Amino acid sequence: MVTTQLLVVGGGPGGLAAANAAASLGIEVLLVDEGLQLGGQLVKQTHKFFGSREHHAGVRGIDIPDLLMQHQGKITVLSNTAVIGCYEDKVLTAVTGEDKYFKIRPEAVVFATGASEKFLAFPGNDLPGVYGAGAVQTLMNQYGVLPGKSVLMVGAGNIGIIVSYQLLQAGIPVRAVVEAAPNIGAYLVHASKIARAGVPILTRHTIVEASGTNAVESAVIARLDDDWQVIPGSEREIEVDVVCLAVGLSPVLDLLRQVGCKTKYVPELGGEVPLRDSQLKTSIDWIFVAGDAAGVEEASAAMVEGRLAGAAAAAQLGADKGEAANVCAQCQASLDALRRGPVGAKIRAGIAKLEGDAANA
């Protein structure tokens, strides 16, 4: 049995920030991550971040994990290790690699388990050549392997548009980006970049079918009417060997559900999300959440949430209350700033639905 004061599950932007914040407040931290390399999705994000300097604006995602690991305290890192169980008596089970099983007993946990990609129903969606956008990023930006020869991107949110740009950077043509909604969801500065490169972004369009013998050889796209139904006769077949799905994310809550944290369906935050108070404590006293697991947003918010959850957990574990409260207050102000304006409207609406003390829910 491994013991620690604070266990952080997930080494992406949220988890790294949580570990860093708690360690800086003098708490002993065990950071467990299933990847071979820390950073979560940051390790494949080659674009520069937005926002202000405190949110790492202008820094490429791939360079952020190193910044987040520059802390003063004690963090033990276990990579290639997945937490696979979480029980009411504060015991968690984990596995390193494929077969080294062990138990962890922490005093508190921050779950920063991120999100998983949503899927889309259409004939042929199971063919090799249909990828999640995360997988396309991983192949290209981590392993330097080209996913294919030409691409249909499904979804014009930030991920769809940014990954389209990354595909162009890797030298692969993107034949089109289809988006079922009437508007482009991504920041327009990114959308303009790919539009300038000649990639058509087709709003009110969807993929109808992917076909091929052993892998994708072509895809059919079509226009949608105001009721999101395919307009007959508008179908077009395009020759692509990659269909990249970027149709949203849902929080990864398996462990939170297992231990009995209360959740609520909030579509603005990606689906089922854990109830949590303003300091990211769930309905269970020793469990905190941060990042996409707490509601799908983006990496800048995840880092601030991580710091907030890390400091709140540290305060509960006996760190200097005044110091921890300062960090929490800074983080809350920072989150408010990130969520201001029309871009944050959806997130604010989602969080309003979660309001109220999780403990009273």
Partner 1 sequence: MSRISEHPILQFEEKPVITFTFEGRKLEGRQGDTIASALHANGVKVLSHSRHHNRPRGFFCAIGKCSSCLMTVNGKANVRTCVEPLVEGMDVRRQPATGGELKW
Across the strands, what pairs with 8?
A: 31, 110
Give the residue among 206, 132, 138 at the shortest CA–CA distance from 166: 138
Q: Using CB under 8 A, pick the residue from 70, 72, 88, 98 that binds partner 1.
A: 98
Q: Using CB under 8 A, pick the residue from 170, 181, 195, 325 that binds partner 1.
A: 170
Nearer to partner 1 among residue 46 and residue 218 (C-beta): 46
Q: Using CB under 8 A, pick the residue from 1, 36, 121, 189 that binds partner 1.
A: 36
CA dist., res. 283 & res. 294, Å (int): 12
Give the residue among 252, 305, 280, 331 at the shortest CA–CA distance from 108: 280
CA dist., res. 340 & res. 348, Å (int): 8
Provide the angle, in degrees to the nearest 10, between the axes of the packed helices 188-196 and 158-169: 40
Nearer to partner 1 among residue 4 and residue 164 (C-beta): 164
Q: Using CB under 8 A, pick the residue from 144, 198, 233, 341 that binds partner 1.
A: 144
What phi and psi, each to the nearest 5 degrees, are found at residue 282?
-80, -170
Q: Using CB under 8 A, pick the residue from 1, 89, 171, 233 that binds partner 1.
A: 171
169 scored as a contact of partner 1 (CB under 8 A) = yes
DSSP H or E stretch at residue 181: none
Nearer to partner 1 among residue 26 and residue 212 (C-beta): 212
State the pairing for strand pair 81-86/151-154: unpaired
CA dist., res. 138 & res. 298, Å (int): 18
Per CB under 8 A, the segment of 64-72, 166-174, 221-229, 284-292 that binds partner 1 is 166-174
CA dist., res. 255 & res. 258, Å (int): 5
Other CB atoms within a 10 A radius of the CB of residue 332 amount to 14
Q: Using CB under 8 A, pick the residue from 138, 203, 218, 330 that binds partner 1.
A: 138
Residues 107-126 binding partner 1 (CB under 8 A) are 116-117, 126
Q: Which single residue is written with the structure tokens 């969520």?
A: 339
Q: Cβ 85 to partner 1, closest distance in Å?
A: 17
Residues touching partner 1, count (CB under 8 A): 33
In this structure, the chain runs to a length of 361
CA dist., res. 84 & res. 101, Å (int): 10
Nearer to partner 1 among residue 10 and residue 310 (C-beta): 10
147 scored as a contact of partner 1 (CB under 8 A) = yes
127 scored as a contact of partner 1 (CB under 8 A) = yes
Q: Using CB under 8 A, pick the residue from 28, 46, 258, 323 that binds partner 1.
A: 46
Nearer to partner 1 among residue 134 and residue 291 (C-beta): 134
Chain residues binding partner 1 by CB under 8 A are 34-36, 46, 60, 62, 98, 116-117, 126-132, 134-135, 138-147, 169-171, 214-215
